[in-house]
Amino acid sequence: MKILYATSEAVPFCKTGGLADVAGSLPSALAAEGAEVAVVLPLYRRVRERFGSQLTFLCYDYVNLGWRHVYCGLFSLEKDGVTWYFLDNEQYFDRPDLYGYMDDGERFGFFSRAVVRMLDHLKFWPDVINCNDWQTALVPIYLKDDGVREERFRSIRTTLTVHNIEYQGRYNPYVLGDLFGLDAGWVEDGTLLMDGDLNLLKGAILCADAVNAVSPTYANELKMAYFAHRMESVMRQCEYKLYGVLNGIDMDRYDPAKDPSIAANFSAEDMAGKDADKAHLQRLMGLREEPHAPVVAIVSRLVSHKGLDLICEVLHDMMKLPMQLVVLGKGDKKYEEFFHWAAQQYPGRMAVRLDYNEELSMAIYAGADLFLMPSKSEPCGLSQMIAMRYGTVPIVRETGGLKDTVHAYEAWRDAGNGFTFANYASNDMLHVIREAVYLYKDYPDAFSRLRKRAMACDFSWARSAGEYLRIYAGVTGQVWPAPEAAPAEETPAAEAASETPAEASVSAEEAPAAAETAAEEARPAEAPAPEPETVPAEEAVKKAAEEAPAVKAEPKKRGRKPGSTNTAKKAAGETKKKGTAPKKK
Ligand code: GLC
């Protein structure tokens, strides 16, 4: 299976948010499962500055977009079994920031057009292009547009991952031809039209072969007006191809036992280092060095959907509890001013840094006791998973990926891996913060068991990569995993995704710490054993049982064009011949 992952940011090259973390980890996890994977992203100034010497220039070509005829250079780099391609155009990408320019539409229109245009020069003709958010939303549109004239474009299937539906790429329909080089029909038939605007994300949701929201709960929420930013009816219309594969985190990078960026290493078996990290954090932030005061942490962009209004409402009540509060983040002025002011009211007990700072964030994940994330909406959320990995117990609102990853503490049966509340109400949040703080102070043994359960959760990418591959298999009609490697039984992606990671953690608790080993073991462990009751005598029955998973592995509800695989293969073969020798002009 050949997959091209198109993204506007990826760790370690360039990052503004969670998309970069996903794009930095998922491709190599897909490659580790046996897929051929390439990633394509813009060659921003910061990529050239930091990675320029490692890049190989392959070729250049010209991209036609509306009336423009624009240069596009192609660079590449090999890393972790994945080929990384960078598309170069200095006019568009040699700028200090990734986004925030008045011509962002034109820049990412160019990027999406160039992804399709440069396919001839890549090492393979992809079976699937996975695009992400509005910046690459035009890729499925251009493929369909080109597919009208050239059959080979019709062989490529597209999937769209929605990381946050709030950002849709909305423009005046007037610019359709001029900026994006598309015919008026795309707006007239409504494909790219939404509330009178040209809407790139809507077009991609309609045209992609599958749409993936980044958690099972978010996939459901997107059908509701409260969460969908006016896209609910489109999402409901596309429900048949909507999936919710939970993101993972890089379990190797975020490993408290090995992480060189934290003051002292620790693990679930030996937590002494965590106390040292806490003392270090308190010194760093100017908090009183009280080992027994629970440190509650917030590491977040300071924007409204992160639920900060709840904290503003009850901050003084929170600070009546025997706890300390650490806040790291920047964003909207009103929140920055509030937290700055509030910290001055509680010297030694509350500390705030209005900054985006990776190093300090790691000191906080390692040193804090509780991690507060009361988001109004949260497609997936990665920081709660990182916090859990570092033994910092999350307190979250039950929305999106927070709901899928954090399960409420239940004292009576000593279960759960964090604290949760359902309603977007400050008193409900205060109630669980109080519960958490007093569990920490009054029942340290119960708290440390809870902490261990949080640390044992399996958020490895291998699990999600398998689910992505099943979606790709569904849209291409290819069998995945290849029949000889097929496990005994697989559930369709959407159903599998709804199995909670906490459930997976049961087996992970006993599994060895090394992420890869755990990942390898997770497959057979997750797959239910073939029914023992089946009559063993019949060879034929057995055989059928072995062959069954290949069929079942394809997500249900997908209509498939007969013969599409053949067409895909043929097209791939033909193009490969054409495309193997990169032009050097
Ligand atoms: C966006 C979402 C976040 C998610 C991330 C990665 O940043 O807001 O919840 O974890 O994308 O998918």
Both 177 and 215 in one domain: the answer is yes
Q: Are the C-beta atoms of 377 and 221 separated by less than 8 Å?
A: yes
The pLDDT tens digits along the chain (585 residues) read 999 999 999 999 999 999 999 999 999 999 999 999 999 999 999 999 999 999 999 999 999 999 999 999 999 999 999 999 999 999 999 999 999 999 999 999 999 999 999 999 999 999 999 999 999 999 999 999 999 999 999 999 999 999 999 999 999 999 999 999 999 999 999 999 999 999 999 999 999 999 999 999 999 999 999 999 999 999 999 999 999 999 999 999 999 999 999 999 999 999 999 999 999 999 999 999 999 999 999 999 999 999 999 999 999 999 999 999 999 999 999 999 999 999 999 999 999 999 989 999 999 999 999 999 999 999 999 999 999 999 999 999 999 999 999 999 999 999 999 999 999 999 999 999 999 999 999 999 999 999 999 999 999 999 999 999 999 999 999 998 877 655 555 444 444 444 444 444 333 333 333 334 444 443 433 334 443 333 333 443 344 344 433 333 334 343 343 334 443 444 444 433 343 344 433
Same domain, 105 and 45: yes
Cα separation of 213 and 134, whole Å? 13
Q: Do both 224 and 288 map to the same domain?
A: no
Distance 383 CA to ligand 1 centre (A): 10
Cross-strand pairs, 410: 415
pTM equals: 0.82
By C-alpha distance, which of 543, 520, 464, 519 is closest to 496?
Answer: 464
**Counts of helices then strands in the chain (DSSP H, E):** 25, 18
**Cβ 18 under 6 angstroms from ligand 1:** yes
What range defines the domain where residue 296 resides? Answer: 272-458
**What per-residue confidence (pLDDT) applies to 484?**
65
Looking at the fold, whether 431 and 526 belong to one and the same domain comes out as no
Distance 571 CA to ligand 1 centre (A): 35
Residues 528 and 435 in one domain: no
User: Which residues, in sequence order, are CB contacts of 260 under 8 Å at separation 6+?
Assistant: none
User: Phi/psi of residue 344, each to 5°?
Assistant: -70, -20
**Which numbered atom of ligand 1 lies nearest the CA of 17?**
7
The answer to whether 472 and 480 are in contact (CB under 8 A) is yes
CB 313 within 8 A of CB 330: no
Q: Could you tell me if residue 474 is inside a domain?
A: no
In whole angstroms, give the CA distance from residue 183 to residue 124.
29
Q: Which token pair is 117?
A: 């245009």
**SS3 call for 203:** helix
Give the span between the Cα atoms of 51 and 28, in whole angstroms: 19
What is the DSSP code (8-state) at residue 240?
Answer: G
Given this model, what pLDDT does residue 460 score? 95
Length of the chain: 585
Ligand 1 pocket member 381 (CB < 6 A): yes
Give dist(CA 110, CA 130) in Å, integer: 17
Neighbours of 53 (CB within 10 A): 6
Cα–Cα nearest to 105, from 14, 163, 175:
175
Q: What are the beta bridge partners of residue 194?
A: 197
How many other CB atoms are found less than 10 A from the CB of residue 151?
Answer: 12
- Is any ligand 1 atom within 6 A of the Cβ of residue 379? yes
Answer positive or negative: Cα dihedral of 304, 308, 312, 314.
positive
Give the amino acid at 546: E
* 3-state secondary structure (DSSP) of residue 72: strand
Query: Ligand 1 in contact with 451 (CB < 6 A)?
Result: no
Residue 528 and residue 422 in one domain:
no
Q: What is the DSSP string of 96-137?
A: SSSS--TTHHHHHHHHHHHHHHGGGGSSS--SEEEEETGGGT
From 122, 136, 237, select the one nearest 581 (Cα to Cα): 122
Ligand 1 mutation target, pool 163, 301, 306, most atoms within 8 A of CB:
163
Cβ-Cβ contacts under 8 Å for 538 (sequence gap 6 or more): none
Nearest atom of ligand 1 to the alpha carbon of 161: 12
Tell me whether residue 582 is in a domain: no
Cβ of 22 less than 6 Å from ligand 1 = yes
Asked if residue 584 belongs to a domain, the reply is no
Does ligand 1 lie within 6 Å of residue 247's CB atom?
A: yes
Q: Is the residue at 478 inside a domain?
A: no
Contacts 24+ apart (CB under 8 A), 222-230: 222/162, 222/165, 226/377, 227/165, 227/377, 227/399, 227/400, 228/165, 229/165, 229/166, 229/168, 230/194, 230/195
Same domain (yes/no): 301, 419: yes
- Based on the fold, state whether residues 204 and 119 are members of the same structural domain: yes
3-class state of residue 334 by DSSP: helix
The reply to whether 437 falls in a domain is yes
CA of 554 relative to ligand 1 center, distance in Å: 26
CATH of the domain at 127: 3.40.50.2000
Q: Does residue 19's CB lie within 6 angstroms of at least one atom of ligand 1?
A: yes
In a domain, 265, yes or no: no
Is residue 24 situated within a structural domain? yes
Count of domains in the chain?
3
Q: Rounded to 5 degrees, what are φ and ψ at 432?
A: -75, -30
To test the pocket of ligand 1, the residue of 164, 221, 468 to mutate (highest count of ligand atoms within 8 Å of its CB) is 164
What per-residue confidence (pLDDT) applies to 560? 40
Same domain, 514 and 414: no
Pairing of strands 68-79, 82-88: antiparallel
Please tell me whether residues 523 and 396 are part of one structural domain. Answer: no
Q: Give the DSSP letter string of 476-524.
A: H---SS-GGG--S----HHHHHTS-HHHHHHHHHHS-S-HHHHHHHHHH
Do 443 and 299 sit in the same domain of this protein? yes
Any domain includes 479 = no
State whether 447 and 499 are in the same domain: no
Q: Which of 401, 435, 458 lies at the terminal end of a domain, its last residue?
A: 458
SS3 category, 271: coil
